Amino acid sequence: MDHRKPSARLYRIIAYLVFSVPSFLLSLAYSRAYLYGDQVLYRNFYESLSSANIREILYLQLISTGSSEPLYGFIAWLGAQTIQDKDVFFSIVNSIFCILLFRLLLKNKASAFFVFLMFSNYYIFVLLGPAERLKVSFLFLLAAASGERFTRTLLFLGAATFPIFRHLYSWLLASPVTWRHLNFHALYVCD
């Protein structure tokens, strides 16, 4: 019988799973309570995507929400094709967002107090609620920041190269971070 201790990786996976359930349930309760304002437009957009084909995404998004970020539209379309309930789909997205943020905080050895402050921050609640386009954009930035060097470099290069796929605010955040993560000291300009 093997009596080895479980690895640190196993503990992280268990922590992510334990963390994902309350984040999903709280997100679902929060999204079900938030019904008015811009959410009326986004709910109508999500419902229209369930019967739309992929070529109609940008048009429906523009006439429904007045926005044109293709990444958000595509993610919402995937959700509408697989999960009819918008609140359930975006609660899953919120749960992934929270796990990636938690992973990034663990990776940077944030204290428990700082993790508490981060998750009780007003702007996190905005991202988990009405700011869906910004949330999708930040989701990819968090995936890049919490990933390994190769993944991080690819996602940050994509963030720098294709700003139209992201929300303006994440472009403003990603640009300086992108340049910091890439090593341009090896490039020399010759006269």
Share of the chain above pLDDT 70, in %: 73
And the tokens for 120? 């009780």
Q: How many whole angstroms separate alpha carbon 178 and alpha carbon 172?
A: 10
Q: How many whole angstroms separate alpha carbon 15 and alpha carbon 116?
A: 15
In three-state secondary structure terms, 170 is helix
Q: Hey, how many other C-beta atoms are within 10 angstroms of the C-beta on 79?
A: 20
Q: Residue 175: pLDDT band by 50, 70, 90 thresholds?
A: low
Q: Where are the domains positioned within the chain? A: 8-181
pLDDT at 157 over 80: no
Angle of the 57-65 helix axis to the 38-49 helix axis, nearest 10: 160
pLDDT in the model for residue 17: 83
Say what the pTM is. Answer: 0.74
Q: How many whole angstroms separate alpha carbon 13 and alpha carbon 59?
A: 40
Query: What is the average pLDDT score of the chain?
Result: 77
